[in-house]
Amino acid sequence: MKQEVKPVPLSGPYVDEREEEAVAEVLRSGRLSLGPTIDRFEELFAEKAGAPYAAAVSSGTAGLHLLCVTAGIGAGDEVITSPYSFAASANCFIYEGATPVFADVDARTLNMDPAAVEAAVTPRTRAIVAVDIYGYPCELDELRAIAERHGLALIQDACEALGARYRGGQIGSHGPSAVFAFYPNKQMTTGEGGIVTTHSEEEWRLLRSLRNQGRGDAGGWLEHVRLGFNYRLDDIGAAIGIVQLEKLDGILALRNEAAERYGELLRDIDGVELPCENDEDHVRSWFVYVVTLPDNAARERVIAHFERERIGYNRYLPSIHLQPYMRERYGFREGLCPVSEDASSRTLALPFFTAIERDAQERVAEALAAAL
């Protein structure tokens, strides 16, 4: 009888008894939300990211939305963001009534090209949402200069970039408020969850109020001083987050090793273009491992092969402006952002997670080589 091949998952969290014990402790304490664990998690995270303040929230999307609220983005505004990202990078300001304007990406880094951002600015532009896609730092200084020149808010969507470094500093340390996400496929997880780092105490207080139904610092449980949301992270998630933060350096090192192994295994396969290399100013934190294939047909051939071999994959990332709801709402069509669209047609995420082992990666490499 033919032996079943073992599946290789696309991703997975890196948790063990330490997280189990931390969760049990919170459960035993009876303080499941708005307890001491959340404050501790925020302090530890801020320290790690090199920012003075951090406000934990229920997801990366919630954090981005709150920064759009604190930036005062509203109806009639335009906000510039990357088409080659996860939908939340644009949804966060659409919730506030603003219109998305997509600036095409650089073909090498897949991050927004500052020249395209500059060209997209109009008198109605209110903000830029900059994304560090696949954990590779965006051109923060250039984008910041554009924002300053035109009086725009700059929001950093660092949901995929915990641990990345730009010009020698941790993402989160440079000044613009940044959002990190903790869904289980991320470098670290809290189950669902996210966090906003800020360099402004005033903004931090506002974020903590906004995530907690607009309650004030002083008033009671039933006093709401502003329109707020329930975007709280609970203490169970925060407890997982604290343990994950303790492990983070080890996690990032293991992910670096896994990425290096892929580099070695895939380097000589014809038709596989590897993720762009680090340079002095940009050091990636490995979130996913995305390769670029010669064309869409080649990608589909690889996918068919992966399915037979029970290897996980995803077509990371479709261009946001071509999603069905975007076409319908704004009439966006092919040709708006050709670099992003080209990447979307032929980039593929391979199985990648902290504990991935060499033999699984070898199987992925063999399947890629065979399909191509």
Ligand X SMILES: Cc1ncc(COP(=O)(O)O)c(C=O)c1O
Q: Which residues contribute to the site for ligand X (CB under 6 A)?
A: 59-61, 85-86, 88-89, 131, 157, 159-160, 181, 183, 194
> How far is CA 30 from each of CA 34, 37, 173, 198, rounded to the nearest angstrom?
11, 12, 34, 30
**At how many degrees (to 10) do helices 235-266 and 358-371 cross?**
50
What is the C-alpha to C-alpha distance for residues 154 and 125, in angstroms, rounded to an integer?
11
**Min dist. Cβ of residue 158 to ligand X (A):** 8
Query: CB of residue 95 vs ligand X: minimum separation in angstroms?
Result: 12
To the query of whether residue 6 is one of the catalytic residues in this protein, the response is no
For residue 153 the two structure tokens come to 């808010």
> C-alpha 331: how far from its chain's center?
26
Cis upstream peptide for 248 (omega within 30°): no
The residue among 54 and 88 lying less far from ligand X, judged by its C-beta, is: 88
Instruction: State the distance between the two ends of the chain, measured CA to CA, in whole angstroms.
Output: 29
CB of 295 to ligand X, least distance (A): 25
What is the C-alpha to C-alpha distance for residues 59 and 273, in angstroms, rounded to an integer? Answer: 32
Residue in the shown chain whose Cβ atom is closest to ligand X:
60
Of the residues 2, 48, 186, 247, only one is catalytic, namely 186
- Please state at what angle helix 235-266 crosses helix 36-49, rounded to 10 degrees: 30
Q: Which one, 61 or 292, has the nearer CB to ligand X?
A: 61
Sheet holding 178-181, edge to edge: 53-57, 194-198, 178-181, 153-157, 125-131, 78-81, 99-102
CB of 213 to ligand X, least distance (A): 19
Nearer to ligand X, 52 or 184 (CB): 184
Q: Which is nearer to ligand X, 131 or 259 (CB)?
A: 131
Minimum CB separation of residue 43 from ligand X in Å reads 21
Catalytic residues: 186
